[in-house]
Amino acid sequence: MTASIRIRRKQIWRVAPGAPLAGELRRVVREEIDRLAGVAKDANTALAVHRIRQSLKRLRALNRLLRGAAGEKYYKSLNVKLRNLGRALGGARDAGVLLRIFQQLSGAGDRSPALRKLLERRARAEEKAAERSVDSIALEMLVIQKEWTRRLAGDGAAIAPARAVRNAMKRARKQYKTAAASLAPGELHELRKRVKIARSQMELLVNIVKPPSAAAVGLWLRTMERLSDALGDCHDIRVFVDSLARIGGADFPPRLLAAARRREKQLIRQSLKLAGEALAFDAAATLQLGE
């Protein structure tokens, strides 16, 4: 992502200080979905897939924050829609991950050209299939945009951002305990999803943080980003190991499996250490809201 695109995304994914919160959140819904639709026109399908998936995750976090305003029934149906749209691009994403991890672990000493070619073919095929999904997702999101903003047309009395952040952090802490106890890949992946929800919500609200807390929140958000990245890398390694066990067969070099498992253990240790630090922070208490 270029610097200009990164800055533009951050400008969109922020409520303005001093502005009516309900209006700002409606603006974010509109602009984030417009941005997603624009990304769908990117000639680089792999990059478009990545950006759309990231945007859908942010919108799911926003949907949780707006749960009271849009209504419980709509919240639940929209959550399922956004989740399923992201899953439609999962094959392309995973195929790209397999090839990237294989290249990282193989380095210059690649002794498995047949496996490399297999992964390259699979990545190209999934990317081709994703081209059609990208366009349909953009169109569907524009339809969702109209209905979602219509439901948010009120004065915002039912919007409770601090409560949403508090609940997101509570869910993340609970999942951290489960993941730390079991070390199961699925539980670690669930922890990543819950961390990303809390992080996305606070990134959105960072401009209405109490001034004395601004520096602490900035540091916490950077820690949460590092935690998300570490858990994401951990998940990618697990996707690699599980997928190659199914498709690699005799072409899967044992040294690659050993290297992948060592890296996974390192990432799990790193993730749990960061989670212990980040999830002890009371993010909701820093918000300047009269809830």
Same domain, 142 and 3: yes
The CA-atom distances, in angstroms, between 249 and each of 13, 110, 124, 269 are 45, 16, 21, 29
pLDDT digits (tens, 9 = 90+) for 20-53: 999 999 999 999 999 999 988 876 888 899 999 9
What integer best gives the mean pLDDT of the chain? 88
* Cα dist from 280 to 37, 61, 170, 223, 227, whole Å: 37, 20, 10, 12, 13
What's the whole-model pTM score? 0.88
175 shares its domain with 245? yes
Q: Is residue 291 within 8 Å of residue 163, measured between CB atoms?
A: yes
Q: Is the pLDDT of residue 6 over 50?
A: no
- Residue where a domain terminates, one of 103, 128, 156: 156
Task: Tell me, yes or no, whether 217 and 274 share the same domain.
Answer: yes
Taking alpha carbons only, the member of 98, 124, 117 closest to residue 256 is 98
Nearest residue to 59 via CA among 87, 36, 42: 36
What is the per-residue pLDDT for 92? 92
Q: Are residues 119 and 164 in the same domain?
A: no
Number of domains forming the structure of the chain = 2
pLDDT of residue 153: 84
Q: What pLDDT score was predicted for residue 5?
A: 33
Owner of token pair 């999934």 = 126
Per residue in 162-177, pLDDT (tens digit) is 999 999 999 999 999 9
Tell me the per-residue pLDDT of 79-90, one tens digit each, with 9 for 90 and over: 999 999 999 999
Same domain (yes/no): 67, 16 = yes
Q: What is the distance between the alpha carbons of residues 170 and 194, in angstroms, rounded to a whole number?
A: 9
What is the reported pLDDT for 249?
A: 52
CA distance 92 to 90: 6
* Cα atoms in the 13 Å half-sphere on the side-chain side of 138: 18
CATH number of the domain enclosing 237: 1.40.20.10
Q: Are residues 123 and 21 in the same domain?
A: yes
Q: How far apart are CA 183 and CA 231, in angstroms?
A: 12
Residue the block writes with tokens 């984030």: 32
123, 156, 189 - which closes a domain? 156
* pLDDT one-digit tens code per residue, 121-150: 989 999 888 988 999 999 999 999 999 999
> Using 50, 70 and 90 to split pLDDT, how confident is the model at 232?
very high
Q: Are residues 205 and 232 in the same domain?
A: yes
Q: CA torsion, points 238, 241, 245, 246, in degrees to nearest 10?
A: 50
- Per the model's pLDDT, the better-predicted residue between 241 and 283 turns out to be 283
Secondary structure of the chain: what % helix, strand, coil (to 5)? 80, 0, 15
143 and 76 in one domain?
Answer: yes
Among 103, 129, 156, residue at a domain's last position? 156
The Cα 278–Cα 219 span in angstroms is 10
> 68 and 182 share a domain?
no
Identify the domain containing residue 275 by its residue range: 160-291
Q: Which residues make Cβ contacts (< 8 Å) with residue 62, sequence separation at least 6? A: 25, 28, 29, 32, 200, 201, 204
Residue 45 shares a structural domain with residue 104: yes
Q: Quick one: 6 and 33 in the same domain? A: yes
Q: Kindly state whether residues 63 and 113 are assigned to the same domain.
A: yes
